[in-house]
A and B are shown apart, each in its own frame.
Chain A
Amino acid sequence: MIFIGILVAGLFVLYPWVIADDFYGRMGADVLLAAIGASAWNILGGYAGQISVGHAVFFGVGAYLPLLAFTHLGLPPVAGVPLAVVISLGVAIVIGLPTFRLHGHYFSMATIAVAELIRIAISNWDYVGAATGLMGPAVSRTWLDLSFRSPIPYYYLFLVVLACLLLLTWHLQRSRMGYYWRAIRAGERPARSLGVPVARYKLYALLLSAAFTSLAGSLYSLMVGFIDPESGFGILRSVEMIIIAALGGAGTLFGPLLGAVILIPLQTTTNSLFGGGGSGLTYILYGGIIVILARFEPGGLLDLARRIAQWWSRRREGVAVRHAA
């Protein structure tokens, strides 16, 4: 198991060198970026079981602040990252504090309402670019601008961030916090009866998730150098995070990464096959996948794989017993 893990990790590290092609390098960066966002969503939705369908709100904040810092203050975009996190945490508190005391649906509804509210507000506010959006530095003025022409530096930056996020998640899920999150997901009433401060721990999960989603947004605008209300706060941004996490396996450590590895290349393919996002065929597919996952395999591919492995090993045991008899 560990050997395979090291092998896979090695593949991820060496990928850009082996591929040495801007298109595929960029796709690799896209995969990692999507994995970061989905892994951040996963902390709240997968482990703690609180489903945010408007998570783009944190992504959008994270994407806008750096470009605002650049556009209005002439600062390197990175300078906007800390404030983006702070604002995201603030939004998280506004959404989570009242709703975590209530039944889960209130929270989900609130996430989408706030995301839409902010999207509309931004679309009509000239200072932040209105519907046109904001741009980043066309060319790096200093190295701090992090405006690279090749996707490779972004790839490695994203890889490091993803590794840190996954490491943190791994550590948390085996700690008291992680056990409490899983208990909350499995049953709030029994969790409470065991002393779990349910609302408080939901909030912790949300704050962590919001901070890293914000970071994902910042990384996005660093690489792409452009943001507008739709790409930052739109429902499709939220959908992407959810479907990637859920397809791979919500509540597992590597599920989101698996989902990203499958869906991002798939998305690029269907987009070029069906002539761009305009016809929306990709999203018909996404909608269908989400419904099928919800109906048949809410645990995602990793859960399916685990069950297949169990069935297989039980079958082999059965064969061994029969042979022994």
Chain B
Amino acid sequence: MLLSARQVSRSFGSFVALANASLDVGEGEIVGLIGPNGAGKSTFFNCVAGDIPPTTGRIVFSDIDVTRASAATHARLGIGRTFQVPATFEEMSILDNVMVGAFLRHHHRGEARAAAREIIEFTGLKALAESPAKSLGTPGRKRLEIARVLATEPRLLLLDEALAGLTPTEIQEAIALVRRIHAKGVTIVIVEHIMEVILTLAERVLVFNQGLTIASGKPRDVVNDPAVIEAYLGRRHARDPGAHAP
């Protein structure tokens, strides 16, 4: 088990954003997290990424307890993440952006630069390497974020709606990129709205609704699960909401 998150809960004051979510991710898997807006998947995601500490629960990565570890520690241990709203370093060039990531593993400028260039080539950003990040559109920024975090050589990559707002062509390119990253041996957890992406990419899916995980399994099975349909489309019949909790 590369990542083991057990009974992770997070409250903000009296508001329970996440309740007892658990997830095991084996090395080399691609796992999807889906659910309606406000369902808790982003909160769960941020707990795993080390951005916010869980109120209760335990998160273990590669046999190391990272429950209360800082985001920087997460990165050093090999957990990388992208942001839902791209947070690139606007005034810095694409190359410099990626170099910041590379400096985690390469302390010298020359090495970091070389590593960054490789990643830039790998992610298809070579032509724009010297341009400032702010000259990119949203798809470019998302791609840059991926390149930047890849430079930190993550073993587990957490993608936060990396494909939202892209055109169909861009989505295909992005899916191809995620596949290439996966082929290099990176384990991937992806939060996504777009069903097509989840069905294509994820081997396993965990469904969130109102802070709880309500279903998990293969994408095809989960998509046909009545509880999941109800979460997305609303209550059709009177039904015990806990019936399909894992």
Contacts and interface: CB of A to CB of B under 8 A. Distances in A.
A-B complex is real: yes
Interface of A: 174-176, 179-180, 182-183, 186-187, 189-198
Interface residues of B, number: 31
A199 B6 CA distance: 30
A180 B87 contact: no
B118 interface: no
Nearest to B99: A179
Contacts of A192: 70-72, 75
B109 A195 contact: no
Contacts of B49: 193
Contacts of B80: 193-194
Contacts, number: 70
Given A179-B99, A182-B92, A190-B88, A196 B72 contact: yes
Contacts of B96: 179, 182
A180 B70 contact: no
Nearest to A176: B103
A186 B91 contact: yes
A177 B149 CA distance: 18
B92 A193 contact: no
B87 A194 contact: no
A189 B149 CA distance: 13
B18 to A, nearest CB: 20
A182 B72 contact: no
Nearest to A251: B91
B100 A193 contact: no
B154 to A, nearest CB: 10
Interface in B28-85: 49, 51, 70-72, 74-76, 80-81, 83
B107 interface: yes
A189 B96 CA distance: 17
A191 B76 CA distance: 12
Nearest to B89: A186
B41 to A, nearest CB: 18
B101 interface: yes
B109 to A, nearest CB: 6
Contacts of A175: 109
29 contacts: A174-B109, A176-B103, A176-B109, A179-B99, A179-B103, A179-B112, A182-B100, A183-B92, A183-B100, A186-B89, A186-B91, A187-B87, A189-B51, A189-B71, A189-B83, A190-B87, A190-B89, A190-B145, A192-B71, A193-B71, A193-B72, A193-B81, A194-B75, A194-B80, A194-B149, A194-B152, A196-B104, A197-B72, A198-B72
A182 B101 CA distance: 12
B51 A193 contact: yes
Interface string B95-136: 010011101100111001000000000000000000000000
Contacts of B155: none
B75 A190 contact: no
Contacts of A174: 109
A191 B108 CA distance: 18
B70 A191 contact: no
A198 B72 CA distance: 8
B90 interface: yes
| The 3 nearest A-B residue pairs measured at CB | A195-B75, A186-B89, A190-B87
B148 A194 contact: yes
A118 to B, nearest CB: 33
A124 B105 CA distance: 52
- Which among A192, A197, A198 has the greatest number of chain B C-beta atoms within 10 A? A192
